[in-house]
Every structure is written in structure tokens, then in C-alpha cells.
């Protein structure tokens, strides 16, 4: 059974567990990751087995510095990928300043053949997904481990994404991994997964909408227009609670639980002020809470108020649409 431990007091135990090939659930500024040594085939296989994740769905590799990206991927000087990294991957000077958090951009790049990375992390197309989280706990864990960390979201495949240590525990309580779930006072600032961009070409191909909004990236490159979102893991039902959902609800029916937004209130309200960033921060946590209220028989439907489809609302509506897919 996993153990929830305080990141600041017990960081060394977590580092040792990773070095011995075990898994550790780590908070990032987006969501919790189920982390293992990205240079070790056995640790990567353990991640897939623990999550029951289909083998065709590749993992994101988490690094602690931009220099690490050059060891793992082909990055051409002056390329769009390099400009994005330089603009958006610089960790803020004060890592504890939540306002400066901006590590929510994952880049798909061409993998270097001869790197230390497990070959299991390189797709048939020869790509890897790299992310440089800015969360101090995640950065410290990667740096002290001494190798990059492969980390999908720390949930069973297809189910609700965790943003708190208790959520991770609910998924893995009966399993031998992860050994540790790190907790700290500021777990997941954004609350929604990173934005994934294929940055191999001169135009950006957005593979998954997420926490990174990058309003002003137009000076670096234009996004591809009208391309379907194609991150392999996004094709099927995903992000689903055990309860059924009813979307775009304007009121709560008898025998429903309700997740409100703005003026449309409910048992819980994502943001009474209608703030999409606040809504994202609470999104998975409130779905977890409502699902828990509805357990063990999940007889009620969770009605979800309409969330405007702009800015962070694009990612929220994307997650809801996939959660109701069959
Ligand atoms: O915020 C996040 O991105 C979190 C934290 C832990 O970093 N991670 C996360 O991982 O959401 P996961 O495994 O739940 O989702 C990763 C997505 C999947 O849809 C996968 O198909 C896609 O990234 N992906 C990974 N590697 C890829 C690659 N080389 N090319 C295209 N898509 C890739
Ligand atoms: Mg996931």
C-alpha cells in the first residue's frame, strides 16, 4: 500500500525509492504524476502495469533543466521548439511564487537515438514528449534522483486525474505501487494537465489543450488550423468519474448532484465568480468529492453547469466531453 509522506521532510526517502526502481507520486503545478526512472525499462514497465495503461499510449518525460532536453531530443538552433523552451521553460527565480508558475507546456520532439532514456519511451515515430515542471517539489525530486522521470497522471487508466494526495491514494490504495505519495502545502496550482504541442515543425500542432495558454506565442509560431487533437491517449473515454455526468445543465434535477459554475450553483461550485482559472484548480477535486458523495452505488447523476469554451474553459470542456464518451 502506498504511503503519503511530507515532501519537505521526507524527500530523501522518495529519491531512494526512485533510485531502487520503485514509483513515487509527485505533485506538479498541473496534476499529480506517477513517476519512475525514465532510464530504466523495468521502472517504465511498472508504471504501465500500475496504471493498467495500454502500451500504445506513450508517457511524458520530466526533466529538471533545459540542458537535459538537448541530451534527449534533437533541438535545432533557432527552431520553433527552442524558442518555445527559452520563452516558457525557464523556471521562475522564486519557485514558491505561485503567480509565476508556468511549467505546464509539454513538447513533442524527435528523440535522440543514443540517449540514456529507456527505448520504451520513444514512439514508433521516433518522438518523445518532454516537460520541465516548475513545481519546486517536482524539480527537486528530478534533480536529486539524477535521472529524468517518466510520469503519466497518477490515476488508473481512463479515470479521474488526481490533484491531491488523497485522490492518488484512492486509485492505488490496494496496489504495491507507488511506494510514496508526496504531499506538500501547494500541490497542483492549475489543476488541469499540461498542454501538449508537437513542436517538430515550423507550425505548432496542439495535441492536447491544457493548462498552458500561451496567449502570446503567436510571435514564435502559428498553430496548425483545424487539425484533430491526436495525442494517442486522448482517443477514447478518459477522465471519467464512476458517476454518470450530464453536461451544460442549467438546473439541478431531483436525485442529481450538481457541480456549479458562476451563477449556476450546485452542491459544489467551481467558481462562484465565474473565474476559469479558479474553476480549473477545483475541477478534478470537486468531481472526486461529488463521486465520493455518490458512492458506493453511484445512483445519482452529476449535473455539470455550462462552462464557457474559451481560455482555460477549452481544456475543461475537452475533459468533460471525453469523460462522457463511451
Ligand atoms: O500535466 C501533465 O501533462 C501530467 C503531469 C504528471 O506531467 N501528465 C499527464 O500524463 O497528463 P498522461 O500520461 O496522463 O497524458 C499524457 C498524454 C497522453 O495523451 C499521451 O498519449 C500523450 O501525452 N503523449 C505522450 N508522449 C507523446 C508523444 N511522444 N507524442 C504524442 N503524444 C504523446
Ligand atoms: Mg492522464
- Which pLDDT tens digit goes with each residue over 246-297? 999 999 999 999 999 999 999 999 999 999 999 999 999 999 999 999 999 9
Mean pLDDT, residues 179-198? 93
- Determine which residue's CA is closest to atom 3 belonging to ligand 1: 194
Atom of ligand 1 nearest to the CA of 153: 14
Supply the pLDDT for residue 95: 62
From residue 77, give the alpha-carbon distance in Å to each of 17, 74, 314.
37, 10, 32
pLDDT score of 324 more than 70: yes
Ligand 1 atom with the smallest distance to the CA of 106 is 3
To test the ligand 1 pocket, which listed residue (134, 152, 197) has its Cβ within 8 A of the most ligand atoms? 152
Ligand nearest to the CA of 210: 1
Give pTM, 2 decimals: 0.96
Pocket lining: 39 vs ligand 1, CB cutoff 6 Å: no
Residue 96: the pLDDT is: 63
Asked if residue 39 has pLDDT above 80, the reply is yes
157: Cβ below 6 Å to ligand 1? no
Site to substitute for ligand 1 among 28, 159, 193, 281, most atoms within 8 A of C-beta = 193
Does ligand 1 have an atom closer than 6 angstroms to the CB of 236? Answer: no
Closest approach atom of ligand 1 to CA 208? 19
Q: Do residues 131 and 105 lie in contact, with contact meaning Cβ atoms separated by under 8 Å?
A: yes
Contact yes or no for 315/231 (Cβ under 8 A): no
Amino acid at each position: 500500500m502506498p504511503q503519503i509522506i511530507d515532501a519537505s521532510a521526507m524527500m530523501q526517502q522518495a529519491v531512494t525509492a526512485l533510485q531502487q526502481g520503485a514509483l513515487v507520486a509527485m505533485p506538479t503545478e498541473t496534476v499529480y504524476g506517477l513517476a519512475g526512472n525514465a532510464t530504466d525499462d523495468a521502472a517504465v514497465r511498472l508504471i504501465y502495469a500500475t496504471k493498467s495503461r495500454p502500451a500504445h499510449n506513450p508517457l511524458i518525460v520530466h526533466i529538471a533543466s533545459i540542458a537535459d532536453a538537448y541530451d534527449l531530443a534533437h533541438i535545432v538552433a533557432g527552431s520553433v521548439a527552442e524558442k518555445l523552451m527559452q520563452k516558457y521553460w525557464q523556471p521562475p527565480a522564486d519557485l514558491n511564487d505561485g503567480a509565476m508558475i508556468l511549467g505546464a507546456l509539454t513538447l513533442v520532439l524527435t528523440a535522440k537515438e543514443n540517449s540514456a532514456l529507456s527505448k520504451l519511451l520513444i514512439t514508433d515515430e521516433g518522438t518523445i514528449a518532454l516537460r520541465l515542471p516548475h513545481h519546486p517539489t517536482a524539480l527537486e525530486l528530478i534533480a536529486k534522483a539524477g535521472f529524468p522521470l517518466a510520469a503519466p497522471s497518477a490515476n488508473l487508466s481512463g479515470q479521474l486525474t488526481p490533484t491531491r494526495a488523497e485522490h492518488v491514494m484512492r486509485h492505488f490504495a490496494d496496489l504495491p505501487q507507488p511506494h510514496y505519495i508526496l504531499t506538500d502545502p501547494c500541490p497542483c496550482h492549475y489543476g488541469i494537465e499540461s498542454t501538449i504541442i508537437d513542436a517538430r515543425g515550423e507550425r505548432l500542432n496542439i495535441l492536447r489543450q491544457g493548462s498552458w495558454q500561451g496567449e502570446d506565442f503567436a510571435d514564435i509560431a502559428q498553430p496548425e488550423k483545424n487539425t484533430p487533437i491526436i495525442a494517442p491517449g486522448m482517443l477514447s473515454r478518459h477522465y471519467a468519474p464512476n458517476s454518470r455526468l450530464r453536461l451544460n445543465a442549467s438546473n439541478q434535477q431531483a436525485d442529481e448532484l450538481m457541480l456549479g459554475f458562476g451563477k449556476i450553483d450546485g452542491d459544489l461550485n467551481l467558481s462562484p465568480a465565474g473565474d476559469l482559472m479558479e474553476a480549473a484548480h477545483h475541477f478534478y477535486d470537486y468531481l472526486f468529492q461529488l463521486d465520493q458523495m455518490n458512492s458506493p452505488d453511484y445512483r445519482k447523476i452529476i449535473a455539470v453547469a455550462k462552462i464557457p469554451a474559451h481560455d482555460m474553459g477549452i481544456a475543461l470542456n475537452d475533459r468533460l466531453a471525453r469523460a462522457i464518451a463511451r
